[in-house]
Amino acid sequence: MKNPLSINAIALLLALLALTGCATRNKIDWSARVGNYTFDQAVLELGPPGKQAKLSDGTVVAEWQTSVGYTRTDYVPTGGAYRYPYAYGGYAAPMTTYSPGSFLRLTFGPDNQLKAWKKFTM
């Protein structure tokens, strides 16, 4: 006779693995939100914008940083010779890698509704 506790434990483990394996980050469809998404909803969902400007016609342009850019410098050995236990000549040349930050710009009309959106890097 099989142990019912071990069968239940295996079933629970499989269910947990199935649920965690399907966890993905939901992508927001900004085009679908145009016309029915307010600035207040954006602040509640994304937090306060990093930059914000109100134009003379009442339009609000706000930007949120969605990922941080970075610069990294690695030193790569070039030239020279190697004979155990000594290395002769050569030097390490710098190699710089740059990744830009990502931003989201939302434009809200005077009626506080989303009018346009744009993702860009800088």
Strand partners, 92: 77
Q: For 16-47, what is each residue's pLDDT tens digit?
A: 655 555 444 678 999 999 999 999 999 999 99
The verdict on residue 4 lying in a domain is: no
Per the structure, how many domains does the chain have? Answer: 1
Q: What is the span of the domain harbouring residue 101?
A: 37-121
- Beta strands, E only, 20-99: 51-54, 60-67, 70-78, 81-83, 86-88, 91-99
The predicted model scores a pTM of 0.63
Distance CA 6, CA 2 (A): 8
The verdict on residue 78 lying in a domain is: yes
The verdict on residue 68 lying in a domain is: yes
The verdict on residue 51 lying in a domain is: yes
Distance CA 62, CA 53 (A): 6
Checking if the pLDDT of 103 tops 90, the result is yes
Q: Span 73-85, mean pLDDT?
A: 69
106 touches 35 (CB < 8 A):
no
The verdict on residue 21 lying in a domain is: no
DSSP 68: -
The verdict on residue 25 lying in a domain is: no
The verdict on residue 88 lying in a domain is: yes
Q: Span 63-77, mean pLDDT?
A: 86
What average pLDDT does the structure give for the chain? Answer: 82
